[in-house]
């Protein structure tokens, strides 16, 4: 469903050297996984015999019992489309290999040997096993059947899933086999492990799995041996992990005394397209691999995954003060570099009492603190017009006074009326002309003050507005340095909230955060705001959600809509999301000409719409293929 696949990591109760007992646990978990519509599941290393069977693995009786138990698994898995990856010892060419058997519908699709054998401290696998890292392009016979055999095997459903398998130490090696698998298209890696527990090892293990998933731009599923493995010299906690592109999406409680599995729905379609959009994935060296085609997997009826409604905003677990400070640091140092290079001592900024100009002023003020310059060299200009309310203006004035910047007030009403008269426009006609005249007047005033004072005009428009083209061309669209250009509206609110610990401005910021977003270009009614941006273009939290998924990995509109319905629950209906998504797409395409001519500004997060950074697009690209998909 929309490129999501359900995967599982299973931890079974192990009876050492008793494959029959272990098989009962394996089959039970496999059947549970199939009921849960899991596509692929992985078990711990040497699942059938137990990892700590040690020298018994070189005994004929145990290998024979293992193979008999494997036959039972094959029989029980007939007509089960869930793929099970189980650990077995493979006797081939008079050598013993630690291997993984990939099983579906009662058939062994392939056998993958372990490449790196630990042989230090508590591990001494070279005593029993031979490395399989040189085994490629060959087959072996197991249970009387010829089976693909080697480290060059990948498994694909012909759609969005291509997976590879590595075993325990392979992940801990300097060059994990999964690096090469990913370069050949594997976006999902399964690891059968027997990693023991030591102080601090679990945290490191999770970090290893998580960071490897990030490095591969893929998903990583890890299952480690647990209860039942020998505690003679070490203890096994049964750690199970599922990570996707640098984030842990599922993890079990270690040291459980039962057989269990964890599941997660991973977005493999997203990962495939991220590889096109990010990093140097395409430069990875490809090797000759064999790809095994798998049968269709159990279909997911409903995605079981929490979808973040605010993907640009750090999670609730993040340190808000630290994250916000980092964002402001990026803005401040970008501004410092620009001002230093241009030998400019003053900053000029238009202050409206809204979110965008508030953050721009706060970050500019921080830059002046870092440079140890007088905040009075920040010239803040309020330019009240036909729609300016006492609330926004008083907040703007109070904020400037609290920060100690130079405040100037220039009423643009009479200038706008003169402009209307010059172009023969009826001031009672509140069209786009009426609004844009004011916007361009304000920009011209700021530019002229900057020339007079030897200053730099700070742009306040944000990433959300740039995406929608919600600006007046050559008006607020233009500045000398677009400080907020890399920050979407939802993130701007988050950063401003972090400044509320400053008692000088806390109350002011609270009211600014509570004020409806408005350009204040249409006349107010008895001091009340009459023009609310989100009533015109839609909720910014929706547009930021659309922007993230559209730009980050090129998601189709139908998928974006489905994820939005999951993320926002009952807050927005299917019709409402479709309406605003259609508007987002149309505005995004038709307003590219503004993005092609935006001023410099710092990239802050993972997405930028600067034509010099992340986004290049023809200004006359047609949107109908995207809008049309929403009606299919």
Does residue 184 sit in helix, strand or coil?
coil
Q: Which residues pair with 456 in a beta bridge?
A: 347
Contact criterion met (CB below 8 Å) for 478 and 599: yes
224 contact partners, CB below 8 Å, separation of at least 6: 11, 44, 45, 168, 193, 194, 195, 205, 236, 237, 238, 239, 240
The pair of three-digit structure tokens given for residue 148, joined into one six-digit string: 């693909």
The residues that are catalytic are 45, 114, 168
Q: Which residues pair with 102 in a beta bridge?
A: 85, 110
Sign of CA dihedral 46, 52, 57, 61: negative
State the angle between helix axes of 489-497 and 355-370 in degrees (0 to 180), rounded to the nearest 10. Answer: 60
Cα separation of 281 and 284, whole Å? 6
Size (the chain), residues:
632
Residue 607 backbone class (left: φ over 0; alpha: ψ -120 to 50; beta: rest) = beta
Nearest CA to 368 among 395, 396, 348?
Answer: 348
DSSP letter (8 states) at residue 283: G
Q: Is 558 exposed, middle or buried (0-12, 13-18, 19+ CB in 10 A)?
A: middle
Cα separation of 72 and 66, whole Å? 10
């Amino acid at each position: 469903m929309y490129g999501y696949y359900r995967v599982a990591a299973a931890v079974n109760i192990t009876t050492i050297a008793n494959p029959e007992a272990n098989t009962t646990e394996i089959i039970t978990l496999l059947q549970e996984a199939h009921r849960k519509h899991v596509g692929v599941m992985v078990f711990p290393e040497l699942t059938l015999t137990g990892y700590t069977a040690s020298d018994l693995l070189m005994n004929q009786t145990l290998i024979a019992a293992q193979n008999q138990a494997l036959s039972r698994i094959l029989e029980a898995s007939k007509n089960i489309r869930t793929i099970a990856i189980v650990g077995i010892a493979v006797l081939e060419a008079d050598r013993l290999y630690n291997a993984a058997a990939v099983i579906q519908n009662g058939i062994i699709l392939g056998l993958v040997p372990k490449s790196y054998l630990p042989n230090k401290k508590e591990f001494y696998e070279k005593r029993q096993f031979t490395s399989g890292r040189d085994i490629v392009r060959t087959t072996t016979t197991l249970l009387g059947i010829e089976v693909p055999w080697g480290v060059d095997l990948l498994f694909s459903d012909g759609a969005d899933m291509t997976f590879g398998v590595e075993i325990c130490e392979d992940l801990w090696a300097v060059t994990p086999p999964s690096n090469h698998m990913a370069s050949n298209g594997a976006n999902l890696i399964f690891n059968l492990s027997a990693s023991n527990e030591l102080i601090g090892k679990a945290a490191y293990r999770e970090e290893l799995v998580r960071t490897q998933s990030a490095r591969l731009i893929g998903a990583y599923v890890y299952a480690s041996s647990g209860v039942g493995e020998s505690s003679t010299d070490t203890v096994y906690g049964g750690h199970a992990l599922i990570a996707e592109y640098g984030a842990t999406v599922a993890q079990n409680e270690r040291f459980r005394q039962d057989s269990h599995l964890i599941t997660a729905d991973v977005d493999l379609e997203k990962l495939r397209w991220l590889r096109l959009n990010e990093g140097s994935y395409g430069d990875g060296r490809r090797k000759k691999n064999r790809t095994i085609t798998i049968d269709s997997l159990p279909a997911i009826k409903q995605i079981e995954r929490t979808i973040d409604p605010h993907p640009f905003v750090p999670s609730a677990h993040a340190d808000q003060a630290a994250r916000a400070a980092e964002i402001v640091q990026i803005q401040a140092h970008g501004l410092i570099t620009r001002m230093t290079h241009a030998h400019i001592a003053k900053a000029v900024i238009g202050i409206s009492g809204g979110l965008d100009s508030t953050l721009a002023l706060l970050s500019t003020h921080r830059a002046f603190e870092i440079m140890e310059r007088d905040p009075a060299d920040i010239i803040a200009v309020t330019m009240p017009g036909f729609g300016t309310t006492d609330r926004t203006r008083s907040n703007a004035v109070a904020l400037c006074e609290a920060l100690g910047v130079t405040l100037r007030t220039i009423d643009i009403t009479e200038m706008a009326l003169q402009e209307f008269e010059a172009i023969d426009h009826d001031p009672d006609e509140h069209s786009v002309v009426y609004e844009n005249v004011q916007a361009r007047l304000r920009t011209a005033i700021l530019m002229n003050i900057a020339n007079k004072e030897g200053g730099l005009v700070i742009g306040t428009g944000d990433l959300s507005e740039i995406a929608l083209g919600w600006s007046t061309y050559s008006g607020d669209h233009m500045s000398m340095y677009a400080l907020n250009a890399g920050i979407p509206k939802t993130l701007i609110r988050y950063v401003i909230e972090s400044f509320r610990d400053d008692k000088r401005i806390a109350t002011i910021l609270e009211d600014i955060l509570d004020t409806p977003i408005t350009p204040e270009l249409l006349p107010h009614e008895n001091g009340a705001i009459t023009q609310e941006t989100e009533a015109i273009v839609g909720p910014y939290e929706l547009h930021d959600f659309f922007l993230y998924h559209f730009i980050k990995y090129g998601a189709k509109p139908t998928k974006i809509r489905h994820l939005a319905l999951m993320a926002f629950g009952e807050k927005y209906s299917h019709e409402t999301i479709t309406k605003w998504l259609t508007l987002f797409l149309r505005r995004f395409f038709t307003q590219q000409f503004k993005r092609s001519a935006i001023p410099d500004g710092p990239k802050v997060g993972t997405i930028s719409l600067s034509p010099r950074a992340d986004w290049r697009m023809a200004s006359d690209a047609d949107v109908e293929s995207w809008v049309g998909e929403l009606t299919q």
